């Protein structure tokens, strides 16, 4: 059984507008972080991006979205 202690969860505020954009970004993020669980909650006012896994850098997640024209910041 895997230890859950090494898992981390990061929640980001984004300005992703709709599901077509979210699906493209999801595919991009999964290429960079294949062993993570990633989802968007576009119904939330903060257009939430949630990333869960062991090996990902929040800074890289933010940079990837910003390079594709989206704002992205870690929610406190």
Q: What is the pLDDT of residue 71?
A: 98
3 part of a folded domain: no
What pTM value is reported for the model? 0.89
**40 secondary structure, DSSP code:** E
Specify whether the backbone of 75 is left (phi greater than 0), alpha (psi in -120 to 50) or beta: beta
23 part of a folded domain: yes
Q: What is the pLDDT of residue 1?
A: 45
Is the distance from CB of 49 to CB of 16 less than 8 angstroms? yes
Q: Which domain holds residue 26?
A: 8-74
Q: In the structure, what pLDDT confidence band is assigned to residue 6 with cuts at 50, 70 and 90? A: confident
20 part of a folded domain: yes
Q: What is the pLDDT of residue 5?
A: 55
The model's pLDDT over 10-61, given as tens digits with 9 standing for 90+, comes to: 999 999 999 999 999 999 999 999 999 999 999 999 999 999 999 899 999 9
């Amino acid at each position: 059984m895997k230890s859950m202690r090494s898992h981390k969860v990061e929640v980001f505020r984004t300005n992703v507008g709709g599901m077509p954009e979210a699906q493209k970004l999801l595919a991009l993020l999964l290429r960079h972080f294949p062993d993570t669980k990633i989802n968007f909650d576009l119904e939330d006012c903060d257009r939430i991006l949630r990333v869960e896994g062991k090996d990902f850098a929040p800074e890289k997640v933010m940079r990837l979205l910003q390079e594709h024209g989206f704002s992205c910041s870690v929610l406190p």
